[in-house]
Amino acid sequence: MWKTIRSSRRATLLGLAATLFMALGLAQPALADPLDAPRAQGLVGERFDGFAVVRDPNAGSDVKALVKSINAKRKAFYDQTAQQQNTSSVAVGKIYANKIFEKAPRGYWFLTDTGAWRQK
């Protein structure tokens, strides 16, 4: 019984990941992500929980404002999707974080759940 519940939950989470990609435009590589340039410069990284983070304390206020804006949009989307899927926004964020990592080019930085930075 537990195995069936876990399999069902896994299928739901995979469906959720596909929904996230479509809704956030990640399935359309022709569209540039506003974080692409700061991530490529190493100013911004991605966290294990699906949120962006400023890596360089000397990053400009424009970069910091961009990260804050992007994270607010992500949080709203994670919350809405979690409510629709009857799961937690934390779970949604972690799925999104994994997809960001998979799609990211070499050189992007990622903050693990242990607090260590890892470059792809």
Q: Is 75 exposed, middle or buried (0-12, 13-18, 19+ CB in 10 A)?
A: middle
Q: Tell me, what DSSP letter sits at residue 115?
A: S
pLDDT tens string 81-105: 999 999 999 999 999 999 999 999 9
Evaluate whether residue 58 is within a structural domain.
yes
Model pTM score: 0.74
Evaluate whether residue 37 is within a structural domain.
no
Name the domain count of the chain: 1
Q: Which two tokens stand for residue 43?
A: 């100013």
Evaluate whether residue 18 is within a structural domain.
yes
DSSP code string of 39-72: HHTTSEEEETTS-EEE--TT--HHHHHHHHHHHH
Evaluate whether residue 88 is within a structural domain.
yes
Evaluate whether residue 35 is within a structural domain.
no
Supply the range of the domain harboring residue 97. 2-27+43-119
